[in-house]
Amino acid sequence: MSGGETILEVDRLQVGFGKGDKSVTALREVSFSLERGRTLALVGESGSGKSVTSLALMGLLPPSGRVLSGEMHFTGRDGVRHDLRALDPAGFRALRGPGISMIFQEPMSSLNPLFTVGDQIGEMLLLHEGINGAARRKRVIEMLELVEIPGAANRIDTYPHEMSGGMRQRVMIAMAMICNPALLIADEPTTALDVTIQAQILDLMRRLQKDLGMSVLFITHDMGVVAEMADDVAVMYAGAVVEQAGVLDLFDQPSHPYTQGLLNSIPRPDPALQGKLVPIPGTVPPPNALPPGCAFAPRCPLAEDRCREPVHLERKAPAHLAACIHDFAGAA
């Protein structure tokens, strides 16, 4: 949101699953952009569409899923602008790795238990750079050292089940970064880790981003992680972006009631709250049963009759967008 070069543009993206009467629209005109070298956090509750967005960008939607409309454009380090909707499977395979790479939520289910971590990291070098043999092994060891895995020369021959959760996540980071991608998508990379290991992984990702000059799309539901990692934030609800702003603006002047609810649900050492959390009432509606107009209206304390009409992202302040009929103090 600072006016720099854009590396990723998503415009009115719609993704559906199923066919005929059983089809549902999981993403509803999702739009956001990411500037080169910056981190954009895509945040929201489970079921908001964050992971579906990442799978669409990577060309990894399951067979039942398809892009219905909208545009996705990615500009690599060489300045070539790719239309992601126009890529065939071979085009996506060529782009993944050196262009866009991804860290998945669960390393144990993403790593193959039958191959060593060195073989799995090294496969990226073989596929994308044609490096094999001793040169490949040397590069993998260097990458394992870069992600701070102790005894990398020995760990390269280790199987995933022989490593802790934190070490497996470091392996996933090494695999994602071995080809020096321009864009890294990190889908809840610390969800299954304890607090101490989570902090180490986040510190590692920040350092590697700076050293390798990457842009990062960081997917999370944790607003504390957003505050620590992001430059910009896009808040998703029920398959749509409801607010987008710089991270400081979003925390200082949230301009959508859903964003306000997310921020209010963060635990704070406030004596007035007596240790209690402030929940958002209700649940996210399923994609096949969305209310008319604003999808958040049934859970919103400020809902009015006019909230039943279509609502779109509007500029509430410079570089601050929100899909809400209300104007909040200080946001104009």
pLDDT score at 297:
94
Residues 6+ apart with CB under 8 A from 234: 32, 40, 41, 42, 43, 241, 243, 244
Residues 6+ apart with CB under 8 A from 275: none
Q: Which amino acid is at 37?
A: G
**DSSP assignments along 237-288, one per residue:** ETTEEEEEEEHHHHHHS--SHHHHHHHHTS----GGGTT---PPPS-PPPTT
pLDDT score at 276:
67
pLDDT score at 273:
56
pLDDT score at 3:
59
Task: Give the residues of the chain that fall short of pLDDT 50.
Answer: 330-332
H-assigned helices in the chain: 50-58, 89-95, 107-110, 117-129, 133-146, 152-155, 165-177, 195-212, 223-229, 247-252, 257-264
The answer to whether residues 107 and 168 touch, using CB atoms and an 8 Å cutoff, is: yes
pLDDT score at 184:
94
pLDDT score at 268:
67
Dihedral pair phi/psi, residue 5, rounded to 5°: -70, 135
pTM over 0.85: yes
User: What share of the chain has pLDDT > 70, as a percent?
Assistant: 94
For the chain, the domains span 110-178, 248-322
pLDDT score at 197:
83
pLDDT score at 275:
57
Distance CA 122, CA 126 (A): 6
Distance CA 140, CA 229 (A): 27
Dihedral pair phi/psi, residue 12, rounded to 5°: 55, 45
